[in-house]
Amino acid sequence: MAGDTVLARHVTRAADALSAVKAVTGGQISARSDHKRWFRVVDERNASVHEFGVEEQPVRTDFAK
């Protein structure tokens, strides 16, 4: 998700919510959801919802000339 906008939807099977989001993204995931880009994982078996943030590298700006 980007803010409150859904960008994509995936269905997967995994042992837990973190494993599910890692299987879909393959990237660095944080347990925090206060990032610009984040994932909502719905565990239908346990009727629970989990949110994970995408760990993005900071943009480097070189002001030296």
In the chain the first and final C-alpha atoms are separated, in Å, by 37
* 3-60 pLDDT, tens digit each: 888 888 999 999 999 899 888 888 788 877 677 788 889 999 899 999 998 877 667 7
pLDDT number for residue 14: 92
pLDDT number for residue 62: 73
- Name the DSSP letter for residue 45: T
Residue 65 maps to a domain = no
Domain span holding position 51: 1-57
Split into its structural domains, the chain has a count of 1
Q: What is the pTM of this model?
A: 0.68
DSSP string for residues in the chain: -BTTB---------SSHHHHHHHHH-S-EES---SSBEEEEEETTTTEEEEEEE--PPPP-----
Residue 14 maps to a domain = yes
- Estimate to the nearest angstrom the gap between the alpha carbon of 6 and the chain centroid: 12
Residue 62 maps to a domain = no
